[in-house]
Amino acid sequence: MSTARLNAGSVTALPDDVARPGYDREGQRIGIVHLGLGAFHRAHQAVYTDDAMAAGDRNWAIAAASLRSAGMCAALAPQDGLYTVTERSGDGDRIRLIGAIRDVTVAARGPERLAALLAAPDTRLVTLTVTEKGYWRRPDGKTDLAGLLANGNSIYHHLGQAVAARQAAGLDPLTLVSCDNLPDNGRVLRDGLAAFLDHHGMTRARDWFERDWRCPNTMVDRIVPAVTDADRERIEALLGQRDDGAVLTEPYRQWVIEEDFAGERPRWEMGGARLVPDVRPYETAKLRMLNGAHSALAYLGLEQGHGFVHQAVADPVIRPVVERLMRQEAASSFTPAPGQDLDRYADALLARFANPALAHRLAQIASDGSQKVGPRWLASLAEHGHRGETAPATLTALAAWLRFSRTGHALSPDPLSGELAGLWARLGSDGIVDGLFGDGGLLADQWRPTDAQKALLQTLCEG
């Protein structure tokens, strides 16, 4: 006999130790539209929103839209948007039922449904987790209008339509909250949407957007590895029900948000979010220390035959490189906020990486590397270059990515895989550094190495 499926009618049959939403779920109207129905959103922003509604905030339920893939929509719709988050640590598993998502849709299949949600009077916020490539940026940081226009289903198409529709209907402006690993993610989103509106000659809509809409910068942090079939079977055994939307994560979570909203917002701070005037020091620490170390572990670890983060960080050859990258190079490449203890932060990161209960796959981290190396490594390298320093640990990680970019895209895809393969085919190991970072190089707008950095990177690539 097959196991029953999790849904609103089966919640009472869950084990007593599964935490339930602490509010009347049916009494909450949708106040947030989310773009990007992936595991990170379900383990992060949806959890904070669940906490806010449990603390008494009303009408902040989420309507979540996948832009293309119908898989998660098909998983959550029969479950009435319900799913579980399992926090996994050495002390065991703690399972929580999340009720914040009330509606799911697929933009590519029904754009009119997403348009209606974005133009609804009750909608006050849009949150986004679409990964770096979803912002359609060129290597120089500007918006890739040609690419997104050819796509036809970008975030800017849907948000641009929402600006025009809400203006025409006399509705309130929205706050757009990017929750992706991009420096100045709110500014990137604002610039991209403004460029889209400009391109289409939507002058009135653009003026209203620039004047009244808000796009706060944010920093998000929680490790959310991909769920395996074995994980699903284990969760099903614990729940006594099948949960096709289940998420696994670590106990730690962090959300730092610029206090800049067009109107009301949920009290996300009830779940531990921090509202600050300037996100940049926290964002930079996370990008260069956590994300930078993650990418280093991914490329160095895969090269040594490791499959998971906890294996790579335990490798006696890799760990010293990652520790130096975090503590000496990344941490010294920017000015922290008052009271921001970066050495303590590095200690916490290493402990999180070493958690063997959280099977975080290196191949998952290694995907889309060309979109990640800029904020994670190149900005730090540029700062050290200005000081006349080489930053050898960061260069070691960068060389590992370069070697991986030659052969690894079948394992972890990259939007520039064709261009990178072409450079390797034409230039080989002797010319790949110049092909990327020399005059006219593919990533030259993001970093120009000093002679000493270039020489060391070239040696590392050849090795």
Does 449 lie in the same domain as 420? yes
CA distance 347 to 327: 9
Taking the alpha carbons of 416, 420, 421, 423 in that order, is the dihedral positive or negative?
A: positive
pLDDT of residue 340: 87
CA distance 63 to 103: 4
Give the single-character DSSP code of 6.
Answer: P
Q: Which of 255, 276, 297 is the last residue of a domain?
A: 276
Tokens of 349: 């990161």
The H or E element containing residue 176 is strand 175-178
pLDDT of residue 438: 94
Q: Across residues 47-74, what is the average pLDDT?
A: 95
Does 206 lie in the same domain as 82? yes
Q: Across residues 437-451, what is the average pLDDT?
A: 94
Backbone angles phi and psi of 319, in degrees to 5? -55, -45
Res 80 pLDDT > 60: yes
Does 421 lie in the same domain as 374? yes
Does 437 lie in the same domain as 305? yes
Give the single-character DSSP code of 4.
Answer: P
Res 96 pLDDT > 70: yes
Residue 214, beta-bridge partner list: 175
CA distance 112 to 266: 26
CA distance 181 to 455: 30
Res 121 pLDDT > 60: yes
Q: pLDDT tens, 68-78?
A: 889 999 999 99
pLDDT of residue 136: 93
pLDDT more than 70, % of the chain:
99
CA distance 431 to 225: 36
Q: Across residues 177-194, what is the average pLDDT?
A: 94
Which of the four pLDDT bands, split at 50, 70 and 90, describes residue 423? very high
Backbone angles phi and psi of 152, in degrees to 5? 80, -10
Res 408 pLDDT > 90: no
Angle at 88 between CA 246 and CA 411, to 5 degrees: 65
48 in any annotated domain: yes
pLDDT of residue 1: 46
Q: Across residues 134-158, what is the average pLDDT?
A: 90
1 in any annotated domain: no
Q: Which of 236, 257, 276 is the last residue of a domain?
A: 276
Does 293 lie in the same domain as 248? no
User: What is the domain-level CATH number for residue 227?
Assistant: 3.40.50.720
Which of the four pLDDT bands, split at 50, 70 and 90, describes residue 463? low
13 in any annotated domain: yes
Q: Across residues 425-447, what is the average pLDDT?
A: 93
Task: Residue 279: name the closest of 218, 340, 190 by CA.
Answer: 218
Across all residues in the chain, what is the average pLDDT? 94
Does 136 lie in the same domain as 14? yes
Does 285 lie in the same domain as 230? no
Q: pLDDT tens, 197-232?
A: 999 999 999 999 999 999 999 999 998 988 989 999
Res 255 pLDDT > 60: yes
Mean pLDDT is lowest, of 188-192, 312-316, 394-398, 416-420, for: 416-420
Res 241 pLDDT > 70: yes
Res 318 pLDDT > 80: yes
Q: Read off the pTM.
A: 0.81
Does 201 lie in the same domain as 166? yes
Q: Which of 223, 245, 276 is the last residue of a domain?
A: 276
**Other residues' Cβ atoms within 10 Å of the Cβ of residue 344:** 9
Q: What's the number of domains the chain is made of? A: 2
pLDDT more than 90, % of the chain:
84
Specify the amino acid at residue 448. R
User: What is the domain-level CATH number for residue 433?
Assistant: 1.10.1040.10
3 in any annotated domain: no
Complete edge-to-edge strand list for the sheet that includes strand 175-178: 101-106, 61-66, 30-35, 125-128, 175-178
User: Helix crossing, 392-407 with 292-303: angle to 10°?
Assistant: 60
- Residues spanned by the domain of 434: 280-462
Res 411 pLDDT > 80: no
